[in-house]
C-alpha cells in the first residue's frame, strides 16, 4: 500500500493508518497482527497494559517484514510512573526490538506529569524511543509539558471519531506541532447513520471505511482493530480513494449533531 505518513521530530515517518491491538491477547493477537502485516499495515500500536507486547513482537518477527519498515508504538501506564525506565526495557524485550518508534504516556498520572515527561525525553535521548508523546492529554496539559521542559510531545493519542469531531482540538494540535492520533474510531460511531451510508454508497465502500478515510483526509492517525482477517483487510482498503470536501464537511457535521 502507498502509505500516507506524518513526519515526526525524531525523523520517523508515522503511517496515518495503523493497527490497534487493545483487548487482543494470546495467539489471537499474533494471528491478527500477522494478518495486518500481510494486508499491508506498517504501523502497530500496543501498550504495557494490553499485556500483548510479546505476541505483537512475535508476529513482527515471524512476518518477514523488515523491522525498519514497521512503525511500533507502546505506552506506559501511570501506575508504572515510578519505574518508567525498567518498564520500557521490559517492553523492548517483549517486542524483540532495540527501540520503539513511539513511546506514549498512556494517560496523565494526575500528579507530576512533568517529572515523568523528563524521563520520557531521557529515554528518547538514550535511543530507546525515536519519538515520545502522550495519550488522553488535553491541550492545556500538552502546554504544561512544553513550558516546563522545552520539549513538545510528538503525538497525542485520544479517542476520536466523527461524533467527537472538534475543529478547535484539531487546530490546537496543529498549532502546537503535535500529531493527533485517534483510537476507537468505530466504538464512538453510529455506523448506521444515514450520512455515512450515503457517502459510502457514493464510493462503493462501507460506512466503516468512510470513517477511516475521514481520519486520513483530516491528517489524523487512526488505529482500527479487528481479529477478523477479512475485516482487517477491508479496513486497509481506504488508501486508493478520498472524500470530497463536501463529503468531509458532512461527516464533520456529525460532531455538531451530538448532544
CATH, residue 164: 3.20.20.100
Residue 67 pLDDT greater than 50, yes or no: yes
In 96-193, alpha helices (H): 113-125, 139-149, 167-176
Q: Decide if 257 is inside a domain.
A: no
pTM: 0.96
Q: What is the pLDDT of residues 115-166, one digit of tens each?
A: 999 999 999 999 999 999 999 999 999 999 999 999 999 999 999 999 999 9
% of the chain residues with pLDDT over 90? 95
Dihedral in degrees, nearest 10, Cα atoms 184, 186, 189, 191: 180
For residues 83 and 123, give the distance between their C-alpha atoms in angstroms, rounded to a whole number: 12
Mean pLDDT for the stretch of residues 110-114:
92
Q: Which domain holds residue 182?
A: 5-188+220-226
For residues 106 and 87, give the distance between their C-alpha atoms in angstroms, rounded to a whole number: 13
Pairing of strands 5-7, 71-76: unpaired
Counted residue by residue, the chain has a size of 259
Residue 258 pLDDT greater than 90, yes or no: no
Give the pLDDT score at 122.
Answer: 98
Task: Provide the sign of the torsion angle of the four alpha carbons 73, 77, 82, 86, taken in this order.
Answer: negative
Among the options 17, 45, 46, 50, which is catalytic?
Answer: 50
DSSP secondary structure code for residue 17 in this structure: B
CB 43 within 8 A of CB 70: yes
Q: Decide if 47 is inside a domain.
A: yes
Give the pLDDT score at 228.
Answer: 97
Active site residue 50: yes
Residue bearing cell 493497527 = 19
Q: Decide if 152 is inside a domain.
A: yes
Pairing of strands 13-15, 5-7: antiparallel
Confidence band, pLDDT 50/70/90 cuts, at residue 2: confident
Q: Decide if 206 is inside a domain.
A: no
Q: How far is CA 119 from CA 103, 194, 204, in A?
A: 11, 47, 48
Confidence band, pLDDT 50/70/90 cuts, at residue 259: very low
Give the pLDDT score at 257.
Answer: 59
Domain count across the chain: 1
Give the pLDDT score at 1.
Answer: 58
Cell of residue 192, nine digits: 448506521
Q: Decide if 244 is inside a domain.
A: no
Q: Is 106 annotated as a binding residue?
A: yes
Q: Decide if 43 is inside a domain.
A: yes
For residues 44 and 49, give the distance between their C-alpha atoms in angstroms, rounded to a whole number: 15
Q: Decide if 231 is inside a domain.
A: no
Give the pLDDT score at 111.
Answer: 86
Amino acid at each position: 500500500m502507498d502509505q500516507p505518513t506524518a513526519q515526526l521530530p525524531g525523523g520517523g515517518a508515522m503511517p496515518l493508518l495503523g493497527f490497534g491491538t487493545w483487548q487482543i491477547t494470546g495467539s489471537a493477537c499474533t494471528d491478527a497482527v500477522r494478518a495486518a502485516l500481510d494486508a499491508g499495515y506498517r504501523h502497530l500500536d500496543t501498550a504495557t497494559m494490553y499485556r500483548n507486547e510479546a505476541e505483537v513482537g512475535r508476529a513482527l518477527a515471524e512476518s518477514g517484514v523488515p523491522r525498519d519498515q514497521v512503525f511500533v508504538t507502546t505506552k506506559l501506564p501511570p501506575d508504572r510512573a515510578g519505574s518508567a525506565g525498567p518498564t520500557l526495557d521490559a517492553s523492548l524485550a517483549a517486542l524483540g526490538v532495540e527501540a520503539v518508534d513511539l513511546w506514549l504516556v498512556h494517560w496523565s498520572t494526575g500528579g507530576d506529569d512533568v517529572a515523568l515527561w523528563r524521563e520520557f525525553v531521557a529515554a528518547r535521548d538514550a535511543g530507546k524511543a525515536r519519538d515520545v508523546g502522550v495519550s488522553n492529554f488535553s491541550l492545556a496539559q500538552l502546554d504544561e509539558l512544553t513550558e516546563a521542559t522545552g520539549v513538545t510531545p510528538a503525538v497525542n493519542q485520544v479517542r476520536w471519531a466523527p461524533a467527537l469531531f472538534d475543529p478547535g482540538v484539531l487546530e490546537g494540535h496543529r498549532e502546537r506541532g503535535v500529531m493527533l492520533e485517534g483510537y476507537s474510531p468505530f466504538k464512538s460511531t453510529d455506523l448506521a447513520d444515514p450520512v455515512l451510508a450515503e457517502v459510502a454508497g457514493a464510493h462503493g465502500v462501507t460506512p466503516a471505511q468512510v470513517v477511516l478515510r475521514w481520519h486520513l483526509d483530516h491528517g489524523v492517525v487512526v488505529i482500527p482493530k479487528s481479529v477478523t482477517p477479512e475485516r482487517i483487510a477491508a479496513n486497509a482498503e481506504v488508501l486508493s480513494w478520498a472524500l470530497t470536501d463536501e463529503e468531509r464537511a458532512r461527516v464533520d457535521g456529525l460532531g455538531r449533531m451530538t448532544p
